[in-house]
Chain A
Amino acid sequence: MKIRLLSFLIFFSVMPLFAQTAYTTSLKTAIYSEPSLGSEKVAQLTRGTAITIKKTHNKWVYISSGSKNGWIQKAFTSTVKPKGKVSILGNANRTSRMKARERASSDVTAASARGFMQTENSKGRSRPNQEMLKFDPADIDKMESVTLSEDELITFLRQGGLLE
């Protein structure tokens, strides 16, 4: 009898290790009553909530998380717990990066002169390669320099009457 009890203990202790556990990855993920966007939203999960996937249906998964059950979109789940942004900008300071890009820029120009790339003007017609724009490395830096916190984004969305 005790051996059976111990076997059950072993089985149920080890079981959770193999359950299909995943995490939600959107800021907030709606749980739906059915696997469709038009069905009732029954609850919401915050990013990084652990969920157990019970079954799948097309691009939807039926999950449970604590007392909450229902359907969420598979695209908003991951088997890896969200741990912030991945960045490739942190390994060098901006100045050295910009210097590196200045050198890269001259390569692009040279490549275009050799006919490496085709280009189009604003009306979609081909242009001779020598009219290729000179890539300005500062453009990518400018693009990457726009910093907005999550709070700023949420405030912006709420001001627009969104997130309701």
Chain B
Amino acid sequence: MRTKQKYLAAIFFVAFAILSCAVGDNVRKRETEQHQRVTQELLYGRLLSKEILSRYKVYNNPEASVYVNKVGRGVALFAGRSELTYYFAILDSETINAFAAPGGYIFITKGSIMAMENEAELAAMLAHEIGHVNNRHIMRQIPLPKENNIADTIASILVAQGTVVSAAMNETVKKASTLLFEDGYLIEDEYEADQSAISYLIETGYDYRALIQFMSRIESIKKTDTKLQVYHTHPPTLDRINMINSFLKEQNSASITGKLVTERFQNFKTSIH
């Protein structure tokens, strides 16, 4: 009997040791896979950012840039992807639009800022773009080409040589660029980005209603200035507002309060020319 117990105890310890090692290996594997996935995402985002900056000039105002980064990164602290560093830039354009490239490269036009009335509206627009990044909308719609060591390939392109982009990668970035500037995201992805934005705003303490208020203002600007390019790659604003309202009802959000932060934003806005 005693021998049998010893035998079982030995099996127990061996099984426990094997399973612990297996779980440990699995954790390391997941960590490595995540690191590779994020690295690819960052490199993809950088290449696409180059495309964005080939179409728009950056608005050169370091103080304004720091402010926008504080708002955007402040929201991003509560957006769940702590492995990313988000970079925000103001584009020198009177249009009302914003763009996001994978990995956290986010661009907002000067025209958008001029159409806003408070910091919560700025946070809302940036949160929407963070939503596109965090839900990997571009990468899901236009995945990276399945090449071996794609991250190493692109890294060497950008960092070491800076000249040769594989044909497949070139094609991918070109398609992503078409998505951003011509076709727009899938409608369901826009709605998902809006829902994510509301959740980030609530967690940070901004008034989530700012998203709807800003979108309603865009709608009225559209009516008065039909030539102005306003969110032309986004689905109709009224549809988005309706979808947001349905989501808010589902979330019983009526009692949730938040801040608009108007004074600080107006000071910032006066520094924009």
A: residues with CB less than 8 A from B are 2-3, 6, 9-10, 13-14, 17, 25-30, 36-39, 47, 73, 75-88, 91-92, 96-97, 99-104, 107-108, 112, 116-120, 122-124, 132-136, 139-140, 142-144, 146, 148, 150, 152-154, 156-157, 159-164
Q: Which residue of A lies closest to B79 (CB)?
A: A26
Least distance between B35 CB and chain A CB atoms (Å): 6
Interface size range of chain B in the complex: 35 or more
Q: Is the CB of A37 within 8 A of B253?
A: yes
Q: State the majority secondary structure of interface residues on B.
A: helix
> A113 CA to B236 CA in the complex, in Å?
34
Q: Is the CB of A86 within 8 A of B251?
A: no
Q: Is the CB of A160 within 8 A of B42?
A: no
Q: Which residue of A lies closest to B69 (CB)?
A: A146
- Residue pairs across A and B with Cβ atoms less than 8 A apart, 15 shown, are A27-B82, A37-B256, A75-B80, A79-B30, A82-B83, A88-B158, A100-B160, A108-B54, A117-B55, A117-B174, A146-B69, A153-B70, A156-B70, A162-B261, A164-B205
User: B28-69 CB contact bits vs A (8 Å, 1 = yes)?
Assistant: 001100110011001100100111011111100000011001
Stretch at the interface among B141-149, B209-217, B227-235, B237-245: B227-235
Q: Is the CB of B159 within 8 A of A97?
A: yes
B: residues with CB less than 8 A from A are 4-5, 8-9, 11-12, 15-16, 19-20, 23, 27, 30-31, 34-35, 38-39, 42-43, 46, 49-51, 53-58, 65-66, 69-70, 73-74, 77-85, 87-89, 93-95, 105, 119, 134, 155, 157-163, 174, 177, 181-182, 196, 198-199, 202-206, 227-229, 232, 250-256, 259, 261, 264
Chain A residues lying within 8 Å of B39, measured Cβ to Cβ, are: 86, 88
Q: Is the CB of A37 within 8 A of B73?
A: no
Least distance between B161 CB and chain A CB atoms (Å): 7
Chain B residues lying within 8 Å of A75, measured Cβ to Cβ, are: 79-80, 134, 196, 199
> A107 CA to B30 CA in the complex, in Å?
37
Q: Is the CB of A38 within 8 A of B253?
A: yes
Chain B residues lying within 8 Å of A84, measured Cβ to Cβ, are: 82-83
> A54 CA to B99 CA in the complex, in Å?
37
> A146 CA to B203 CA in the complex, in Å?
24
Top 7 closest pairs, chain A to chain B, by CB: A38-B252, A100-B162, A124-B229, A162-B205, A104-B162, A76-B80, A37-B251
